Every structure is written in C-alpha cells, then in structure tokens.
Amino acid sequence: MGPPVLAAAPDGGWGWLVALAVFLEAGLIFGVIRSFGVFFVEFLGHFGELAGRVSWVTSITIAILLFASPVGTALSTQYGARPVVMAGGFLSGLGLAPPPPPPPLTHLYLSIGLLSGFGGALVFAPSVATLARYFKRRRALATAVAFSGPGLCSLAFSPLFQFLVDSYGWRGGLMIVAGMTFHLMACGALLRPLALTEDLALAPAPQRSWLAKLSSLFGLALLSSRPFLTFAVSGLLMNLGYLVPFAHLVPHAREMGFDEYQAACLMSMTGATDLCGRLVAGWLDARRAFRLLHTLTLWTLLTGVTLLLVPFGHTYPTLMAIDLCYGFLAGAVVPLKFSCLVEIVGTGRILEATGLVHLLESFGALAGPPLSGFLRDVTGSYTVSFIASGTFLIVGGLVLFTVPNFCSCSTTSPPKQSGDPDDAGNLTRHNGDHPCDGKT
C-alpha cells in the first residue's frame, strides 16, 4: 500500500527531516568538493602535472554529478528516491577511497571523477526534488536551510582536510573523507515518499513505444519550454565561473605567498559567509519582498563582480574581505536557483526538471575549472582565470533577463503534457505569493 495522497504539500512535519537529510547530503557532497583545493595542492606536487590536468579531477566529479542527474531522477521515478539515494551514497564513498600506490592521475579521473560523481548524481537531484514536494509557502526557506550544508561543512572541512593531509598524507586523508561520505546512505533512509493530488493530474497516459516511455520518464517535453531552456542556459554559463574558486582559490593564495593554513582559512571563511547568504536569501523570500527570479539575477551579477575583484586582493586582509563577500553572495545563488526552477516548471515536474537542468549545467561544470587551470598555465597566474570566471557569471545573470515575463510578476507554466490541467504557455499567478500580485 502506497503513502496517503495529500491535497497539498504539508509545508513542514516530516519535511524538516527531509531538509536535514538534504543538509547533510549537500555538506558531504559539495562541502567536500569546495574544500578539495587542499588535496589539489597535494596532487600537483605528487603527480608533477600542470594545474590544467589536475583540475580535471574536480571538474569531472562535478560534471558527472550534474550530467547523470537525469538518470538519478528517472530511477527515482521508477523505484522511489530512498533506494536510489542510498545506492548513490555507497558509490560516492567507494569512489573517494584512494587506490593502491602508485596510482596514475587517470585513475583519479575514474574513481573520484566518474564513480563518486555518478554516486552524487543518484543522491542529490532526487533528494532536492523530494524536498521541494514537501514545501510550498516555506519552500525557499527550507531549501536555504537545507543548502546551508556546504557552507557549514566548508567552514570545518578546509582546515580539517589540511590537518588530515599533514597527519596522514593525502592518501590517508582521502580514506577518512571516504568514510565520512558513506554516511550519505543513512541520509537516504530519511526520504519518506510523499504523494500529492497534483501527481494524479500529471499522471502520463499509457505509452506505446519505448521511445515515448523514455521521453516521459526523463521529462524531455520540458526541452520545448522556452522559460526552462533559458533558465538552463543561464545555469550553464554560471557554472563556467561559479565553481572556479573552490578549486583554485587555495592555490592562488599559496602563489600569493600565504601559508597553507592561511589559504585553507579562506575557504573556511567562505563557508561561514556562504551559510549566512543562504539563510538571508531564504528569509528574504519568506518575506516575499521580491520575485525569486529577480533576486537570483541580482545576486548572480554581484557574485560575478566579486570574482572580478579577486586579483586585486594583494594583501591577506583585502583578499579575505573579497572572499567573505563572494561567499555571502554565492551562497544564496544555489537555493534561489532551485526555488526559481519550481516557479518555472511547477511542483509536479520538479523531479524531471532538476535532472535535465543539471544535465545542461554539467557542460559548464566540466569546462570551467580546466579552462581556469589552462589560463593559469598560459599566463603564469590565476588573475585571468578569476576575471574569466566572473565574466561568465555576469553573462549568466544577464541571460536571466530574457526569461519570458521577467519584468512581470507572473510565471510561465511548462509545456502541456498528458494530463496537464493547463495549456502550454498559460500564465499562472501565485496568489498572495508576491507583493505585486494583481498589478500589471
């Protein structure tokens, strides 16, 4: 017997335990990735490779995590989020376990990049979609709280990873990090299924061909939605620059002459202000002072500006101040993106939409850090790398201006599918959700 069908999202209750699960998952996935700059420095020395080649370890991890997200959401549609997320947690921990010496750099591409990244894809997208289904009025607040995991974990992980490397070497430190990551399996156990009446309205009609079944399972009809595609292209451009500081801020600080613990402290403080930014973003949305899409655009543009300022941080206090601003602004971008995605496609399509938007964003995640590393190898410093990353974020923010009805208080519904109650392109209003409801 399945779970009882609810007329609307409970907006709390067990949803807060789901938020706790996503909080821990986000910390154990993205908190580790953000703090991986400590291991990046060790990889440079151990393998004797250029920064561009070593950057592929982090880049492949994030790219596979995003690229394989439709697989995670499709499997969750078929089998439920709980078993899929638990399986992904096992693969993530297994991929981070260090191989026997001496491993070639390509082995890390396959283990940390491919295996751990695929495990993360099975964990994150289904969990975020499950969280979105448990909340409506408090969705942005719950998402901000859940997504504060990377910021809080980054606060502790950067100095912790440096301590582990100093005490046990990069191989021993990586083994301990792998053990921590296996706790993703316990997080997956908290994802209780939830059935809503909206699911009945969106139930697909029987499909005759296997191609039609796959299209329905992966939500490919969303690719015909201009608002969705515009939003996804913006996310792709953002990812070209957004992820660069997590891979190269620590090496940049080391090149500036700061010691390893000063460099690690930069990422730690980024985590602290990242946490504040996410919570402030959730609080602002709860007050409904602005439309989510407008807030996301503003914070994205400001994040790009702070990255342009990183090369001007010639002293440690100046670099720390820029780093604190970056962490605060960048922290709000991720929860706002997911809340805006629900605004664009609706709760009933959020599972498929999350997978597809991650797929499209993966190309930016794959190219961003290696491009930054290549620019560093060519120029001899990270100055051009941070200027390029900031530019990508600004362009991504400007693309959001082209989302249909951007200047309106209305949102566009996804294209009509079998069972959808509205026609494609119809405008829907969130009654009482935005302060400008009823205005033209």
Burial class (CB in 10 A: 0-12, 13-18, 19+), 22: buried
User: Residue 64 domain-assigned?
Assistant: yes
In a domain, 1, yes or no: no
Q: Please write the tens of the pLDDT for every residue from 86-145.
A: 999 999 999 998 877 766 778 888 888 899 999 999 998 889 888 888 887 777 778 878
Residue 204 pLDDT: 56
Structural domains of the chain, count? 1
Q: What is the pTM of this model?
A: 0.69
pLDDT at 412: 47
Q: Which residues pair with 412 in a beta bridge?
A: 427
In tens, the pLDDT along 65-94 reads 888 888 888 888 888 899 999 999 999 999
Has residue 3 been placed in a domain?
no
> CA-based angle 103:108:109, to the nearest 5?
135
Domain span including residue 240? 8-197+216-428
pLDDT of residue 83: 94
Does the residue 206 lie in any domain?
Answer: no
Per-residue pLDDT, 200: 62
Span of 12-21, 256-265, 385-394 with lowest mean pLDDT: 256-265
Highest mean predicted confidence (pLDDT) among 311-315, 406-410, 434-438: 311-315
pLDDT digits (tens, 9 = 90+) for 396-408: 999 999 988 887 6
Q: 379 lies in a domain? A: yes
pLDDT of residue 410: 54
pLDDT at residue 286, as a whole number = 65
With 50 as the cut, is the pLDDT of residue 42 above it? yes
Distances (CA, A) of 108 to 8, 112, 257: 45, 5, 28
Q: What is the mean pLDDT of the chain?
A: 80
Portion of the chain with pLDDT greater than 90, in percent: 21
Domain membership of residue 210 (yes or no) is no
In a domain, 208, yes or no: no
Query: With bands split at pLDDT 50, 70 and 90, how would you rate the model's confidence at 419?
Result: very low
Cβ 301 vs Cβ 395: under 8 Å: no
Spacing of C-alpha 75 from chain mean position = 20
Question: Which residue(s) pair with 196 in the sheet?
Answer: 6
What CATH number does residue 80 fall under? 1.20.1250.20
Distance CA 392, CA 398 (A): 10
Q: Which pLDDT band holds residue 420 (cuts at 50, 70, 90)? A: very low
Query: Going by DSSP bridges, is the β-strand pair 411-412/427-428 parallel, antiparallel, or unpaired?
Result: antiparallel
3-state secondary structure the chain: CCCCEECCCCCCCCHHHHHHHHHHHHHHHHHHHHCCHHHHHHHHHHHCCCHHHHHHHHHHHHHHHHHCHHHHHHHHHHHCHHHHHHHHHHHHHHHHCCCCCCCCHHHHHHHHHHHHHHHHHHHHHHHHHHHHHHCCCCHHHHHHHHCCHHHHHHHHHHHHHHHHHHHHHHHHHHHHHHHHHCCHHHHHCCCCCCEEHHHHHCCCCCCCCHHHHHHHHHCHHHHHCHHHHHHHHHHHHHHHHHCHHHHHHHHHHHHCCCCHHHHHHHHHHHHHHHHHHHHHHHHHHHHCCCCHHHHHHHHHHHHHHHHHHHHHCCCHHHHHHHHHHHHHHHHHHHHHHHHHHHHHHCHHHHHHHHHHHHHHHHHHHHHHHHHHHHHHHHHCCCHHHHHHHHHHHHHHHHHHHHCCCCCCCCEECCCCCCCCCCCCCCEECCCCCCCCCCCC
- 180-225 pLDDT, tens digit per residue, is 999 999 999 999 888 777 666 655 555 567 777 777 777 788 888 8
CA dist 157 → 19, 78, 270, 276 (Å): 21, 35, 11, 17
On whether residue 138 sits in a domain, the answer given is yes
